[in-house]
Every structure is written in C-alpha cells, then in structure tokens.
A and B are shown apart, each in its own frame.
Chain A
Amino acid sequence: MGKVPKKHSVADKVRKVKTSAEIKNNPFEVKINRKKFDVLGRKSKHDVGLPGVSRSKAINKRKETLLKEYRQKNKSSKFIDRRFGEYDSKMAPEEKILQRFAMERQRAIEKKDMYNLNEEEELTHYGQSLSEMEKFTDMVNSDDESEEKGRLSAELTASHFGGGGGLLRKKSAGEHPDDDGGPKAKSRQELIEELIHKSKQEKRERQVQKEEAQELTEKLDHDWKSIQTLMVRKKPKAQRDETPVEKPKLEEYDKMVRELGFEMKAQPSEKMKTPEELAREDREKLQKLEADRLRRMMGDEEPEVAPSRSHVSADDLHDGFILDKDDKKTLAYQDGKWNLDEEPVENGAKGEEEEEEEEVGGGSNEEAEEEVDDASSEEEEEKDDEEEEEEEEEGEKEEDGHSDLESERESEEEEEDEEVKPEKSKEERKAQQEAAKAELPYTFTVPESANDLEKLLCGHTPDNQRLIMARTQKCNHPSLAVGNKLKLQKLVGLLLDYLGELACRSPPELTTIDKLIPEVYSLCQMFPQAACKSMQTILGDAAHSMEEVLEVKGNAAFPTLDVLIYLKVAALLFPTSDFRHPVTTPALLYIGQALTKCPVRSLEDVTSGLVLCCLAVEYVSFSKRFLPELINFLSGTLHLAVRDKTSAGYSVVPPFRSAGKHSDLLVLSDPESWKSWSRKTLPLSATQQLAFKNDVHADHYRLTCVYTCMELLSKCCVLYKDLVCFTHIFQPITALLSQHLSFTLLTEPLKELRTAILEVLGAAPLARSRLVFNKKKPVPLKLFTPKIVQVLDYGKKRGQTREQKEEHRLRHKYKKEFKGALREIRKDTRFLASEKLDDIMRRDAERKRKVKELFGSLATQEGEWKALKRRKRK
C-alpha cells in the first residue's frame, strides 16, 4: 500500500532528470488516443497524451496548494503577508510599489526626522543616494554621447555600484554558455579594461556606419537627379526654356471634336410620354392596385412579396435616387437629324405654355407641381426611415418606393390634367373676377382649432372654401417647415369635424361638403394615419352614443345626416372591399347596427334607412359580401307598402313589425295618385325633415321610396346571385313582390323593376350539391430511403435560432465544467487520502523504529546485566 506514492515519486524523480524530448520518445510514457475517423483538415490536439507527465504535474501542483492547505488546517498560527496591497489584485504593481515606498518614507521621517529642522532629506536615484553617486559623474559625463548613452551608462553604473560581479557573470554566461571555466579566471581589473575597450570599439563602429550612410544618401540623390529627367520626360526648367518643343499642328477634325466636347450640351430632360404610353402605364398601375385590393378583399395575410432582389450598388446612397435609363441618350442621328435637338424644343414650348396657363390660373398649379415633388421626397424620407429598420429588404423596398413615387406623380399629374383643363376657362375668369373682388389671399395659416377653421371658411362661397383649403395645404406643405406636418395632420381631423358641422346646419350645406371632398381626399392621401384615426373616433363616438341609447331604451333613432355623410366620406376615402379594414369594417358594422336597431316611425326614417341601404350596397358592391341586415331592411320597407298585412307568407324581421302603429307608412293614401308620379331622386335633407304640400305630394314621395327600394333590391339580386342560399335569402322578397305588391306597383317603371327582380329570382338554381369537407392533401407514406440533405457547413447544428444555439452552447459548457470539477475534486480527495496514509505509515514506521530501538537498548541492558551477573557469579 505504502509503496504506490513512493513509486510515483521515484518515477517523477526519474522524469525530472530526463528531458522532455526523451520522455516524448519513450513508448512507455506515451499514450496514443485512438481516433475513430480520420477527418481531413481537422487538427486534433489530443492524439497523443503523456499521462505520467500530466499526473506528476498535477501531483506537484497539489503538493504546492492542497497539501499546504491541509498541513495548515487547524493551525492557528499563520504567515500573513501584511505588506501594503499584497492581496489587492486591482492595484497595478507599480502603484503598489509607489505606495509602499511612500509609506516607508513617511515612517522613516516620522521616526528619525522628528527633531530634524532643516536638513535636506537624502535624494536618491534608482535607490542610490545621489550624494554618493556624484563621485562618478565625471566619468560618465566625460563620454561624448549619442543616444545609446543610457544603456551604456546604466551598464557602467551597474558595474560600478552594484558590485558588477552579478552582471558580469550573467553577461558572460549569456555570451559563452559553453565554456564555463574561462571567464572566472579573469581578474576585476581586466574585466573593466575589457569593458572600456569594447565601448570604445562600439563607438567607432557607429561613427563609421554613420559616415557610410551619409555617403550612400548623397550618392542616391545624385543618381535620382540623373534619372528624374528621364522619367518625367521633362527637362529641368532651365533646359526646357532653352529648347521649346514644337507642338504638332492640330488637325481640323480634332479641333472640332474638342470644341464639340466643350460645347454646352443640351440639358437632358424627361421624355414626354406619348398618350399610348401614358395609358398603358395608367392601366398597369390600376391593375396593380386592383390586384392589391383583391388580395386584401380575400383577407389573405400580407404575403411578403419577395421579388428577386434587385442589385444594389455599393455606392448606392439609399436616397431613392435612381438614374433614369432613358436620361442618357447616345448621341446618334435619326432620320438624318440629331435626335437630341427635338425634345428640348418641344419640351420648352410645352413648358412655356404650361407656365402661362398656370400663371393665369392663379399660380396654384405651379405650386402644385412643386408640391408633388415635395410630397414624393417626403415619402422617400419616410420610406427611408422604415428601411433603416428592415435592412434586409432594402433593395426591394427601394424599388417599391420608387415605383410608387413614379406612379403617384403620374397620377397626380394626370388628375390635374383631367380636372383642370375642362374647368380652366371658367375658373380663369372666375378666379380673375374674384381676385379682383374679394382679393382672396394666397397664403393661409393652418387653423389650430375648430373655431379657427370656421372663422377661416365662414362667409366664403363653397368654391372659395375649397380654394382656401387647397391653398392652406400648399402653403403649409410638410416639406416647407418642420411643424407643418403636425399642423396638417390636425387639420384632417378638423376638416372632417367641419364636414359634420356643415351637415348639422339647417338647412345642411351639402354643396360645400361636396366641394370640400377633393381636399379631404388629398389630405387623407397625405396623412392616412391621421385621417384613419379621426374617422375612427367619429364612428366610435356615433356607435357609442347609439349603444348608450340602446341600452336604456332598446332601440335608437336613425343616425343623423352628419353620420350618414361621414359614412359616405369613409367609403370615398378608404377601400370598402377589404376583408378587414380599420375604418370601413366598423363603418359597415355601424350601418348594420343602425338597420337592425332603429325602428322606422316616419317617412324621414324611411329615407334615412334607404340612405343607409344605399351606403351598404355601395360598401359591398365590389366585394359582394353578404349583408343580412340590408335584405331585412329592404323587405321590411316593402312590407310598409303592403296594404293588407294579414296574409303572411314571409316573416318580418325587427325593427319592422308585421302590424302596428307605423307599419302603413308607405301605403298610398290615394290609390290613384300613382298616375301623376314620375321618377325623381330623393333629397338628402329629407332624412332630417319632410314637409308635404298635400297628400298627392306625399304619395309621390312614397312611390319614390318604393322605387328606390326596388332598385336597390335589384342591385342586391345581382350582387348575391351567386350565393348558395340565394333563394332562401330572397324568399320574403319573392313573396312580397309576387303576392302582396302586385296591386301597388302599377306605374311602368315599378312594374318593370318588379318583373326584372322576379326574373332574376326565378332564374336562380334551386338545386345545389351537398356540403363536403375540403379535400385534404393526402399524407405521404413514410419512406424507408433516407432523406438526403446537402450539408454545407459541417460541425454546426442547424435549424436553431441564435438564442437556442447560445443556450445549447452554454449548457454544454456547463456540463463539461461540471464534470471537470467533479473529476478534480475526486482527484483531490484521492491525493489527500494518499497523503494521509503516507503520514500514518511514516508515523508507524517511526514508532516501530523507536520500539525496536528501545527493545534493543533493553536487550543490551539486559545482556550487560546478565553478563555482569555471570561475571559476579564467576
């Protein structure tokens, strides 16, 4: 047992004696770790191990640390290094030394110099007293010095002050590692001489070197001068002046070419587009937008359309600026003419014309064009901001942004063309007259509150109000000043509120609203977020108030005219066909709610309901979505016109009742009044109040309502023709039209409508196929052939996110560390155990030895005593 450590120690001893090369070559020391696979290009550190070496290293280390600790265990006395900052690892060693030194000095002064009044303290340099050093200064200074002085002097001082022996010995050991005996024989005198000699020699060598370098430089300079002339092909100034080179006579052609090159080139400008091109682009743009709308209608999640990334140049500034490819035309002849000349001329002429027009038109169009540009640049900026976040899609978005920008500009231009041109002549004159009369200012500040806005617009004609709004927008374009954007955003809400207020006036100023619509639209295009938000608040408020009334009373009054106008405006500003839209979806819900919860009590209510139905048809006309409330309300309205309510055949859905106080609203008071009726459009103001001169008038109104209702129904029929339950949905309508209303609908247009609707209803197929689940994609059978995946980066775990990888790595590391720590602890305990055992063995051996000694001494004593006894006996 006790031999094991001993054996180690012997082995270690042997190993210590041997050099590392010897150990590495010893097959008994080396353990080769077998590799399972040979991986090309992988370097492995652990193919060969030296277990003995590492074990002895470990044991030594333990002896120094663990064993010491073990020995010190339970011992109260300890050596503690109380030097300043000894255990402070944060302190730099120099600082430590400085502090210690300072403390030492302080202590010395405190003790010694307590009564020392004016004696200077001793100055030192490198720990040596300066006063002592002075003795050698002459010698050091005597050398005329170069930059290597420091080293030499240090050497010298070291040799002088430090006794020189150590240094010399070291030096000699470095210089002559092989012959040990030589330097020891030299005496001190000799050594110093040698040293001096060597230093002198070095100095001389250096001088020579310097001189040589000087010489070389001079030579090089000289050579350079001779070569220089050759290289530049220019003679030095002096020479050049003497012999001017004859220039070759320029040929006429070259001259012309050069002149042409320097000539002012015609400014490349954007190519005018032919009408066909314009139309094509327009169509393409519309197609794109339409496709977009369809996608949103289907309610698909936004598919991140990722077209192939367009190439982004390294020099790209990401400013959205893209050189038009058509810009740079190659200089060429076309039909015997410069192709360059034509366009600018044309362009210029056009431009002038336009300018003229614009000037006449109050300079607004000019601004408008700037506007457009500004708007687009604004958009670019916004786009850029977004791009910073999504760097990956930069290229693609860039492309998008650009195309948007282009299309928008085109569309705006076109709009202007469309709008402005036909009205121009009128507007010109009007504008002139009005400018003369009213002197409408050209700049306006953005109104900050509803009152301001009203003050601004109050007293102007609808056309002027529009003009004011347009000018306000232009003067305060976001690109012109910093705060404008916020102001205009606020203006969106204010303008919308103003529309509502106009609708609330009596009589409602609908023409003004009508005129203001384009301004609202353009503002909305500029600030979709703000417009959306204010529209949402308006709708939310309306719905909230209706909800409150509903909770209390169970039914509510029809929405007022302003809400109707808002609903219409919402449809104008936002797409109604989207599957889910932040504005139009709530708006449609509101319409549905109003159509179900508001009881019809008067002809005004009927009108309001019909307006809502119109809106509902408009909202769903593109997407053809099913709106049950719409059909319910229309059939209910027809029911109001039925004279005899007893015979059913259809059921009436709330808010209508099959019979009751207000269920005869649309029944004609005079059955003959239809004869004088002619079709008219209903006035919107009729939703608020109606006044009839006589019964015939009222009857005519009723007939108009019925007619409108039927028209809407026929539209619905077309819309919902494809629904599976078409016949069931329209069953009440069929019953009403075919059985109950045949007497009422006597006039020609009504009759026609009736037959048309019934035809559509009759033509609908009654039969349909059964419902089955969508076919599922068949799940493929499990295959036994391995799935082969090409792996490009070996040794890496794939299919993980960065966090997962990191976590995995840490987990692995932790496991490794944990195992290592366990192993170390085990080894420590083993080492300690062996040490303990060793101690015990040693103690036992000692005791045995002592016992033996005692026995021995006793035996000798006994022997002696016996011998004495024997002797005595003898």
Chain B
Amino acid sequence: MAPSHKRNVKLGKLSKPSVKIAKIDLNSTVDNILESKKHANDVFDVFEFLQSEREKDVITAVEACSNLFSTLLERKELFKGKLPAEDDALSGECSAEDKYHIFIRHRYNNCVEMLLEHLSHELHAIQEASLCCLMKFAAAEGQHPLEDLDWSEHYSFPRELMQAIVDRLLSRTMDKSLLISRFHEFLEKDDIRYYVMSSIRENVGKVMDKSKGEVMPVYQHNVFTLISNISMPKEESELSNFMVKQEAKHEHWKAAKLIEHKRTFERMWLGFLKYKLPGNMYKKVLVILHDAILPHMSKPTLMIDFLTAAYDVGGAISLLALNGLFVLMHEHNLDYPDFYKKLYNLLEPSIFHVKYRARFFHLANLFLSSSHLPVYLVAAFAKRLARLALTAPPTALLIVLPFIYNLIRRHPSSRVLIHKPSAEDEPLEDPYLMDEDDPAQCHALESSLWEIKTLQRHYHPDVAKTATLINTPLSQKEDDISEVLEITTFELMERNLKQTLTKSIPLEFEAATQLLSVGKDVMGQHFCLE
C-alpha cells in the first residue's frame, strides 16, 4: 500500500519538473534512498537526470546510479529469480518487502536499459561512464546473482548483461573503436573475456546472417578492433584473474579452463572469418594472423581454408597469407602442392613497392633457405628477382641483390648465372622467359644475370657497389638480409647527409647564370618560368 501511495506522489512531482530539481544534490538523494525505503521513489529523480541533455548531469547521474544500485545489490535488496510484471506484482498479494524488492528490481532493469542506450551516445565521456557503470553492475551481479543458481548451468555470471553490452558495442553504424579500446581493460579478467568471446560469436552470427553475408564495413571494423586486441593467456596457470569467484565447482567451470578459452576463441574467429571481408580488413587479419591468432587456436589447421583462399587472391593479400601458411607448414605439417610455383608467380614488380615488402622477403628468405631445392628453381627465382630489380627503388635493390647472392651461395651449382665461361664466346639472346609461369620451363639456368651487370650503373652508390660484387667470386659468408629489410629511403638519405663535411665539397665549375637555360639543360627545353 505504502509504496503505491508514495509513487503516486512522486509521479505527480515528476510531471511538473521545476528548475529546482536540477539543483538537488544527487548524492543526498542516493543517500536518502539508501537510508530508508520511504524515499525509494526518489530514484525517478535520478533517472530524470540520466536522461538529461547536459553532459555533466548525465555523468553525475550515471555515477549516482552506479553507487545506488551496487549498494542495493550488495544489500541483496533486489528481487531474485523470475521477475513478475510490475503491475501484477504490485497488485498481487505479496508482502510489502517483496513488493519493494520487485519495484527496485524493475528500476534496476530500467537503469540498465538507459545505460545501454547511452553506450550509443554521441559523447565519448558519457559512453565511457556508462560502460564503466555497466561493468560495475556486472561485477556486482556476479557476486550477488539475480538468478537462482540451481537451474542456471552457467554458474553465476551475468551473461545476459554481457551479451547486451557486446551487442551495443558492436554497432553497425558507429565507429566505436575508442569505447572498445576502453572495454579492453575489462577483458583482462579471464571470465569476462571468455563470456565476451562467446557473446561476440553469437552476435556476429546473428548480424551477418541477417545481412546475408554482405560486407558491412563499420560493423566488421568494430568487431575486428574488439577481437584483434584480445590477449589470450598462454598457460593454464595464468587463468587466475576472475571477476566472479565461484565458490563451488570452480574447476569444472568452463571459464577456468584454457582449452575452453581456446575453443571459444577459435570459434569466434572462424565465425568472423566465415563471411566476406572488406579488402583492407583482409590484410589486417592476415597481418596479425600468424602471431596473434594461430597460436591461440585449439586447432590451427582449421585456418587452412581461409589461408589458401587468401593465397589465391593474389597481390599483397597473397604475400600476407604466406606468413600464416608458413606457420601451418612449419608447425602443423601442412602439405601445400605447388607452393614454390605459386611463390614464384607472386614475384611481380609491385612486391618492391608494397608495405609488406620486408615481411615478404623475410619469409621468402626462409622458404628458399632449404638446401634441398632443385637448382632450376633457385635459378628461376634469382633470375626473376633480378629482372624485377630493373624496376625497383634503391631500398628494395639493397635487399634483392644480397638476396640473390645468398641464393647463389647456398646453391653453388647456380653459380653459372654469374659465371659461365664457355668455349664459344658468341653473344646470345637472353633465353629466359619472363612470362612463363612454371619455374621449370623458364630456362633460367641457361641465362645469366645481366640485370645485375646493368645495375652496376645504378645511380645510388651503395647499389652500384653491391652490384659490382658479381665481378669477382662471391665470398663464402652469407649476407645478413635482416639488417636491410626495414630500411627506408630517408634512412639511406640520412646516411649520405651525415657522412660529410670532412673533406672539401666538390662544386660545379660551370658557372650558373640562370635557373633554366634553354640551350643546355633538359628542364629548360621543356619548361619555362611562368
């Protein structure tokens, strides 16, 4: 009886909001509510603030809510179990105490809904505050479960709440990367991570099925930012940081087992990769695949399909897929037919210009380091790289030339490429076939590396010097490519810029009289000073 009366009064007040209300100290309101059940209806004041337009009000209200409900949860003043409809409960015949509990529980649910709404607010501060508050609720709920444990197989973890949060985070229209990066702090708790991963899987399945596999860039971007930064534990013993402590049957809890984590992780990724990805997302996934995803999967071989598909795409994506493939071949015994042929066909002028050049050459170096490769293959690689080097920038040349030299060093029988003294010293055309896809058919062994001879006339002194090495027998020791892999043009320039001022600087002796002289210089012939 009493609550309804109170409520009516409060509702009356609510209907005519005055300026004064804004001034009410929320903290004292919260204290009042907590002090006695008489003031329970003040909770609506707080809610009003929560829906206000002003940023400050909202944030203070969020704080107040978080204080209020976490205390209430601690006091176990929320109704447990299946919640009856509000009006039924109030009119029904239960004790005043129960009615109060049911009332509070409904307000709590309202609050959670509002906070979830706020996760899509345009102001980041509000989003963040709401998220923190929600996570606090989740922790409190975990400690004092609102469900009856007996028929909940998931122990005491607020799964619904978690699912709701994840659903909000993975927005289809808004880029939530900032909020997601904040959310990552909570993922350090092992159980949260576990349940979040399974929530993501469900969410992805639901959303992508609804869109029928169409590419949804914003959504997928959100998903990717969320899942790419999940840091998985390496060993069972690392699983010790839980938000919710399970008193009973802890060892049987799924969230406490590494294998379950791995399985969920794997399912999540596979679920994500199952659908068509936007082009740059493909690259991003492939970049992190080998060291952030594969090691944490329970069965890495499940990635084979994805990787082979990626390898067949061509271009930069193939280059990136190489890394994952390498891990699978190396550690999981993957047998890939015609691997080298495909690798050979990957060699195109663009490999010298893509961002992942260093990674590619690192891997190629690994693949070609085997001494059991046939000579024709090695020669084909060397020749093709040399031919491509004719279009390469100096930074790439500084990688390619030692790379070719290393190939020749490892396979001494391929030395004919740079040294083939023959009895009949007649000039011949280059027998190498650039357009041939099969390294066995391209006649590379019958050719010579005239390209490197050409590069001896390259404009950059370092390249020219490196290229002159073929004039004499190569040294036995292999060059270390890893040093030059990451070199940039600017670093090359800096080398030249810094190593100076010791000797006198040569100057042009033809006196300059004007900027563009029409007769002499090339620029003057084509351009005028306008």
What residues of chain A have their CB less than 8 Å away from a CB belonging to chain B? Answer: 286, 289, 292-293, 296, 299, 302, 411, 415, 419, 510-511, 513-515, 517-518, 520-521, 524-525, 528-529, 531-533, 536, 539-540, 543-544, 546-547, 554, 565, 568-569, 571-576, 578-583, 585-586, 588-590, 592-593, 596, 610-611, 614-615, 617-621, 623-629, 631-632, 651, 653-655, 681-686, 708, 711-712, 715, 723-725, 728-729, 765-774, 776
**Shortest Cβ gap from A375 to chain B (Å):** 14
Pairwise interchain contact A620-B422, C-beta atoms closer than 8 A: no
A617 and B521 alpha carbons, distance in the complex (Å): 9
* Chain B: minimal CB distance from A277 (Å): 20
- The segment from B49-57, B168-176, B498-506 that touches chain A is B498-506
Tell whether, in the assembled complex, residue A540 and residue B464 are in contact, meaning their CB atoms are under 8 Å apart. no
Residues on the B chain within 8 Å of A293, using CB: 506, 509
Q: Are B506 and A578 in contact (CB under 8 A)?
A: yes
- A532 CA / B504 CA spacing, docked (Å): 10
State how many angstroms separate the Cβ of A716 from the closest Cβ of chain B: 10
Known contacts A568-B515, A768-B450; A586/B497 CB under 8 A: yes
Can you name 12 extra interface pairs (CB under 8 A) apart from A518-B514, A547-B488? A415-B511, A514-B514, A554-B355, A573-B507, A585-B460, A618-B523, A653-B350, A654-B350, A728-B387, A769-B426, A770-B421, A773-B471
Per the bound structure, the CA–CA distance linking A78 and B470 in Å amounts to 85
A632 B454 Cβ-Cβ under 8 A: no
B458 at the interface (CB under 8 A from A): yes
In chain B, positions 478-530 with a C-beta closer than 8 Å to chain A are: 488-490, 492-494, 496-497, 499-501, 503-509, 511-516, 521-523, 525-530
- Contact of B458 with A625 in the complex, beta carbons under 8 Å: yes
Q: Pick the residue among B392, B430, B505, B526 that contacts A728 (CB under 8 A).
A: B430
A865 to chain B, nearest CB (A): 108
Do A589 and B460 have beta carbons less than 8 Å apart? yes
Chain B residues with Cβ below 8 Å from A515 are 514
| Interface check B427, CB cutoff 8 A | yes
Q: Which of B211-239 contact A (CB under 8 A)?
A: none
Asked if B461 is an interface residue, CB under 8 A from chain A, the answer is yes
Chain A residues whose C-beta falls within 8 Å of the C-beta of B450 in the assembled complex: 724-725, 768, 771
B-side contacts of A723, CB under 8 Å: 454, 457
CB pair B526 A681 closer than 8 Å: yes
The docked-state distance in angstroms from the alpha carbon of A515 to that of B392 is 38
Q: Once the chains bind, are A582 and B501 in contact (CB under 8 Å)?
A: yes
A529 in contact with B511 (CB, 8 Å): no
Measured in the bound complex, the distance between the Cα atoms of B506 and A529 in whole Å is 10
Q: How far is the CA of A293 from the CA of B510 in the complex (A)?
A: 12
Hey, which chain B residues are within 8 Å of A528, CB to CB?
504-505, 507
Please give me the residue from chain A that is nearest to B387 by CB atom.
A728
Report whether B496 and A586 are in contact in the complex, using a CB–CB cutoff of 8 Å. yes
25 A–B pairs (Cβ distance < 8 Å), ordered by A? A299-B465, A517-B512, A521-B513, A536-B497, A547-B490, A568-B515, A572-B515, A573-B507, A585-B496, A592-B489, A596-B353, A610-B526, A711-B525, A723-B454, A725-B454, A769-B426, A770-B428, A771-B417, A771-B418, A771-B419, A771-B420, A771-B453, A773-B473, A774-B471, A776-B472
- Known contacts A708-B526, A724-B450, A771-B470; A589 and B515 CB within 8 A of each other: no
On whether the beta carbons of A728 and B471 are closer than 8 Å, the reply is no
Q: Is B451 an interface residue (CB 8 A)?
A: yes
- Interface residue B203 (Cβ < 8 Å from any Cβ of A): no
Question: How many angstroms from the CA of A636 to the CA of B213 in the assembled complex?
Answer: 38
Name the prevailing secondary structure of the A interface residues.
Answer: helix
Q: Across the interface, do A539 and B526 meet the contact criterion of CB distance under 8 Å?
A: no
The smallest C-beta distance from A192 to any residue of chain B, in angstroms, reads: 90
Q: With a CB–CB cut-off of 8 A, which chain A residues contact B473?
A: 773
Q: Is the CB of A618 within 8 A of B521?
A: yes
Contacting residues, chain B, for A580 (C-beta < 8 A): 461, 496
Nearest to B523 among chain A residues (CB) is: A614
Max chain B CB contacts within 10 Å: which of A571, A572, A581, A776? A572
CA distance A583 to B511 in the complex (A): 18
Q: Smallest distance from the beta carbon of A647 to chain B beta carbons, Å? A: 14
Which residues on the A side are within 8 Å of B500 (C-beta)?
532, 536, 582
Any A CB within 8 A of the CB of B390: yes
Residues on B with C-beta less than 8 A from A521 are: 511-513
B84 within 8 Å of A (CB atoms) = no
Which has the most chain A C-beta neighbours within 10 Å: B391, B454, B500, B513? Answer: B391
Cβ B522 vs Cβ A715 within 8 A: yes
A528-B504, A528-B505, A575-B507 are contacts. A611–B523 as well, Cβ < 8 Å? Answer: yes
Bound Cα distance A447, B358 (Å): 48
Is B62 an interface position by the 8 A CB rule? Answer: no
Instruction: Point out the residues of chain A lying under 8 angstroms from B458, CB to CB.
Output: 625-628
Give the nearest-CB partner of A521 in chain B: B512
Contacts of B499 in A (CB 8 A): 582
Q: Which residue of B lies closest to A704 (CB)?
A: B526
The residue of chain B having its C-beta at the shortest distance from the C-beta of A617 within the complex is B522
Contact B512 A573 (CB under 8 A): yes
A193 to B124, CA, bound (A): 133
Which residues of A lie under 8 Å from residue B508 when comparing CB positions?
Answer: 571-576
> For the complex, what is the distance from the CA of A468 to the CA of B387, rounded to whole Å?
55
Which B residues touch A592, using CB under 8 A? 393-394, 459-460, 489
The answer to whether B419 touches A574 (Cβ under 8 A) is no
Instruction: Verify if B449 is at the interface (C-beta below 8 Å from A).
Output: yes
B497 contacts which chain A residues (CB < 8 A)?
Answer: 536, 539-540, 582, 586
Q: Whole-angstrom distance between the alpha carbons of A765 and B496 in the complex?
A: 37
Q: Which residues of A contact B455 (CB under 8 A)?
A: 626
Q: Which residues of A contact B472 (CB under 8 A)?
A: 773-774, 776
Is there an interface contact between A589 and B489, defined as CB atoms closer than 8 Å?
yes
B278 within 8 A of A: no
A692 to chain B, nearest CB (A): 15
Q: Determine whether the beta carbon of A770 is less than 8 Å from that of B420.
A: yes
A514 engages B515 (CB within 8 Å): yes
Query: Nearest CB to that of B392 among chain A residues?
Result: A628
B348 within 8 A of A: yes
Q: In the complex, are the beta carbons of B513 and A651 less than 8 A apart?
A: no
Give, as a whole number of angstroms, the nearest-CB distance from B2 to chain A: 65
How far is A536 from B512 in the complex, measured between Cα atoms in Å? Answer: 19
1/0 per position for B375-414, CB-CB distance to A under 8 A? Answer: 0000000000001001111100000000000000000000
Which A-B residue pairs are the 7 nearest by beta carbons? A683-B530, A582-B500, A767-B427, A572-B512, A510-B529, A654-B353, A625-B459
